[in-house]
Every structure is written in structure tokens, then in C-alpha cells.
Amino acid sequence: MTTNTRETAPLPSSVNPVERLALLTGADLAAVDAVIHARMGSEVALIPQVSQHLVDSGGKRLRPLITLAAARQYGYAGDAHVKLAAAVEFIHTATLLHDDVVDESALRRGLPAANVLWGNKPSILVGDFLFSRAFQLMVETGSPAVLNVLANASAIIAEGEVMQLRSAKNLAITEADYLKVITAKTAALFAAAAEAGAMAAGAAPAHYEAMRDYGRNLGIAFQLVDDALDYSGRQAVMGKSVGDDFRESKVTLPVILTLQRASEDERRFWRKTIEVGVQEEGDLSRAIEFLERGHALGETIERARLYARAARDALDICAESEIKSALADIADFVVERAY
């Protein structure tokens, strides 16, 4: 494992910044993958089967990568960051398993979701197992302050998920309320991933708080782009189904924005499809048409761009490094996904 990243030759700018960051963290990401595969093991065969389906389904490991990068940025030379990064990915995976049950999802990363393949019960229980494994890994690293960051994030994520449940079918939700939901359900783990890495490396409070801000803003940008992509044809290319949020009657930012200036006719459409939940042939296309005509998708991406900029700005305090530059570029990259 090399801790000095400045000796490596600069990478061509055509390499996307997530891949660049993976290369910059050297053997760390492979070490995380080894921990993930070792620790999702159990003599109860169904556990590694269900876990592996998600773990090896082509996730980008963005969250653990951020933990590794934050630790490296602060010159960390130990190996606790590898376990922390694996714990972050386990929390994420557990959340996905439970989300897919709650949302009755059919697809996840282009593959049938675990709840479709094995049913809801294994998804719930294997999720619980992975949550517990995450805590075991965190406990092994032994830092109470870092444990605290990740334990708090887990509670906040669950709160965000419940908030979202309550705001489903609710067209009256405000943009501010919606930001609260996604700050909890999505951004809290990005924030904790970044903060925990810096903290484990012994960064000063101003620095681990900056990393937390970076992660939180990145996470919000990430979720807003996801919200827009859900109504975009680009989803199909990425192996995701289009219109999942619509079918699940989730009120996301594009819908909130379009409602702010919707005609009575359009309002009636959203009430029928989201509040009442009656969706007919052609309704998804009509929804997309309304959202595009009202520029709600573009505006959602613009909002995401603001958060991406805030993420970039949060890094100002960090010493210049290739890792810092890759982290900053990831903020832009997350928004560029939309195009």
C-alpha cells in the first residue's frame, strides 16, 4: 500500500474521477473488497448468497471510496480506514435491501432485486445481519468518536426513510421538507463516510467537519440527480427502470417544482396519479412531458449543481493533492451523470 500518491504519474483527464480516486487510494479499495467478501460470510449459506448479489452487482463503492480518500488526504498510514470503509458499504447495502422491500422494487442496478429473487423475508434479515456486521467492523477499529459518527448516521438514515414514507403521496410537501428527507436518507451516509475517514486519520475538527460538509452536499447533489434521472430515458441505459418514483407515488423534487406553477389540469393529473395512486397506460409519459415542459428536470439538476459546488467549496480548507482534486471533480461528475 502506498501512502504517497504524489509519486504516481498524473492520470489522463479522460479517466472519470471516481476511477481516478480508486487508483489514487492504491490497494485500499481492493482491501475493502476483501474485507467485504470475508465479512459477509456466514455458515448460513443464504446470507452470503443474498449479500453477494448486491455486493457484486456493479456498485461503484463511492461511499467507501470517500472514506478511504478522506483518510489518505490526512496522511493516514494505519488500516482502520479499510474496515470503516467496509462498514460504510455494509450500511449502504443493508439500506438497499430494506429499501427494496419497502419500495417493492423489481430492479436494482439492472438486476432483479433481492426481494424478487429470494422474497422479502431474507432481504429484511440479511439486511439486519449486514447492519450488525457493519457495527462489528466499526467496533474493531476502536475509535469511540468515529463509532459515534457512524452510529448517528445509521439512526438518521432510518429517520429519513420513515420521513419519506410519511411524505409519499403527499403533494403538499415543500422543497424544504423534501431536502430534509434526502439530507437524512441519502446525504447522512456520504457525510459520515467522509467525516469518519478524516477523523480516523486524526484530522483537526475544522477539517473533519469540512469533510462532513463535502459529503453532505455531495450526497444531496447525488440524490437530486437520481430524482431527475428517474424521469429520464438515460435511466434505461444505466440498467435502471424509468419511473420507479412515479409508480411508487414518491413525491420528489421534480414534482414539487412543477407543482409550484402547474395549471389546474396538471394539478388534477398529479392528484390522480400520486395522491390517489391511479395510474393508467400513458400516465408516465404524460408525467415526463409535464416535467419537461415546466423545466422541472432541468431545474432539479440546477439545484444539484449548487450542492455540488458547495461540496467542492467545502474542500477549500484541504491541502492541495490529487485526492482533493479527484474529490472535487467527483462533485461535478455526479451532476454530469444527468447528461
Residues found near a copy of itself in the complex (CB under 8 A): 42-44, 46-47, 98, 101-102, 120-122, 124-129, 131-133, 135-136, 138-140, 142, 144, 147-148, 151-152, 154-155, 157-159, 161-163, 165-166
Query: Cβ of residue 162: shortest distance to a copy of itself, in angstroms?
Result: 5
Query: Cβ of residue 319: shortest distance to a copy of itself, in angstroms?
Result: 30
8 Å CB contact between 31 and 72: no
Query: Cβ of residue 187: shortest distance to a copy of itself, in angstroms?
Result: 16
The nearer residue to a copy of itself, 22 or 134, going by C-beta atoms, is 134
In Å, how far from its chain's centre is CA 119? 24
Q: Where are the alpha helices (DSSP H) in the chain?
A: 17-24, 28-39, 46-55, 62-73, 80-102, 114-118, 120-141, 144-167, 175-182, 188-200, 205-229, 234-237, 244-247, 253-259, 264-270, 283-293, 296-314, 322-336
The nearer residue to a copy of itself, 129 or 190, going by C-beta atoms, is 129
Q: For residue 94, give the nearest of 64, 133, 60 by alpha carbon.
A: 133
Query: Cβ of residue 87: shortest distance to a copy of itself, in angstroms?
Result: 11
8 Å CB contact between 63 and 89: yes
The nearer residue to a copy of itself, 121 or 261, going by C-beta atoms, is 121
The nearer residue to a copy of itself, 9 or 45, going by C-beta atoms, is 45
Query: Cβ of residue 49: shortest distance to a copy of itself, in angstroms?
Result: 10
The nearer residue to a copy of itself, 274 or 301, going by C-beta atoms, is 274
Q: Among positive and negative, which fits the CA dihedral 139, 140, 144, 145?
A: negative
For 241: left if phi > 0, alpha if psi spans -120 to 50, otherwise beta; the answer is beta
Query: Cβ of residue 333: shortest distance to a copy of itself, in angstroms?
Result: 30
The nearer residue to a copy of itself, 47 or 210, going by C-beta atoms, is 47
Query: Cβ of residue 77: shortest distance to a copy of itself, in angstroms?
Result: 22
- Rounded to whole angstroms, the Cα distance separating 90 from 92 reads 5
For 249: left if phi > 0, alpha if psi spans -120 to 50, otherwise beta; the answer is left
- Rounded to whole angstroms, the Cα distance separating 80 from 215 reads 20
The nearer residue to a copy of itself, 115 or 232, going by C-beta atoms, is 115
